[in-house]
Amino acid sequence: MYRLAHFSDPHLPSPPGSMTISYAMTKRLFSWSSWRRKRSKHHKKAVLDAITADVAAWSPDHLVITGDLINFAADKEFAAARAWLESLGPAHDVTVTPGNHDALAGCGEFGPWAEWLEDETTDSFPKVRIRGEVAVICVNTGLPTAPFLATGTCGEAQLARLGPILDDLKARGLFRIIALHHPPTPGGSARKALTDQKALRDILGRHGAELILHGHTHVPLLGSVKGPDGQIATVCAPSASQRPVGKNNAARWHGIEIERGGSGWKVRVEVRGFAPDGDAVEPLGQYRLDA
């Protein structure tokens, strides 16, 4: 059995002095203002610390974080996020996929987090990490956008590489997990959508995968997309630092146990986090996603 933990959108607090004059005429100013007005009240480090402590106590074999570690892509934020990632354990045991806030300033291949993206440096996404019989395919949907947009895009080049990667991993008999920030499913606000989600779903429909993990919405979601042999489950974790204020969903994470079963895979998901009126991380439920 392979044990994988998943959470998303930690939105780490911005270090003092992160906002500089050089950022004043860029989209970073809008995001910094939003953080000061709203996000800093909704996202709390104490909540995130409780989530990460609970994850550590569960003793996963690997941890996947699906983006938005930071808020307006300041240099000091990247450095602070790197230190935080190091506190979670060896980079070998943690995979990060970029989000729209991480890509706010156009960060290319996300060099500051290279150790958490893949084991061998390559020039492009998707990036793949293989652990035992499990393969995590890191798809980058984060890219700079105009003010007031939080859309994501895979891009034609990345999508062209994804199909052959999925075929190779299937031929090797691996359980394929696609990790990305934006949801691959329709619905929600067009202002925050994955712009080429249909093209991504078409590739998944031809080449398949066993599981898709994402974040971005700050809402717990369970959905599916069509694969060549049936439906592929999509699992979204809300923000790992979010307080249940107003309509906000409280922070939670997923513990995913994967093992071979017959001609397929047995997958059990344990949901842990804060209840709406809770003050500690607790079990919230569990379900199966056999593939």
Predicted confidence (pLDDT) per residue in 235-249, tens digit: 999 999 998 776 778
Residues 125, 113 contacting (CB under 8 angstroms): no
The pLDDT-based confidence of 114 (bands split at 50, 70, 90) is confident
Residue 290 tokens read as 């056999």
Q: How confident is the model at residue 279 (pLDDT cuts 50, 70, 90)?
A: confident
Q: pLDDT tens digit string along 48-100?
A: 999 999 999 999 999 999 999 988 878 888 899 999 999 999 999 999 999 98
**Angle ∠(166,116,208) on CA atoms, nearest 5:** 15
In whole numbers, what is the pLDDT of the chain averaged over residues?
90
pLDDT at 38 over 70: no
- Tell me how far the alpha carbon of residue 284 is from its chain's centroid: 20
Q: Is the pLDDT of residue 39 over 80?
A: no
Give yes or no for residue 19 having a pLDDT over 70: no
What is the per-residue pLDDT for 74? Answer: 80
Q: Is residue 40's pLDDT more than 60?
A: no
Q: How far is CA 104 from CA 47, 71, 156, 180, 181, in A?
A: 25, 8, 20, 16, 14
- In angstroms, rounded to a whole number, what is the distance separating the alpha carbons of residues 83 and 80? 5
**What CA–CA distances, in Å, run from 167 to 9, 161, 171, 174, 222?**
30, 11, 6, 10, 25
Confidence of residue 22 (pLDDT cuts 50, 70, 90): low
Note the Cα 249 to chain centre separation in Å: 17
Region 138-144 average pLDDT: 89
Rounded to 5 degrees, φ, ψ at 29 are -60, -40
% pLDDT > 70, the chain: 89
Least-confidence region, from 155-159, 261-265, 284-288: 261-265
DSSP state of 33: H
For position 113, what pLDDT does the model report?
85
Each residue of 166-200: pLDDT tens digit? 999 999 999 999 999 999 999 888 989 999 999 99
**pLDDT of amino acid 276:** 84
Residue type, 140: N
In the chain the first and final C-alpha atoms are separated, in Å, by 14
Report pLDDT for 85: 97
How high is the pLDDT of residue 28?
58
Task: Indicate yes or no: pTM above 0.85.
Answer: yes
pLDDT of residue 30: 59
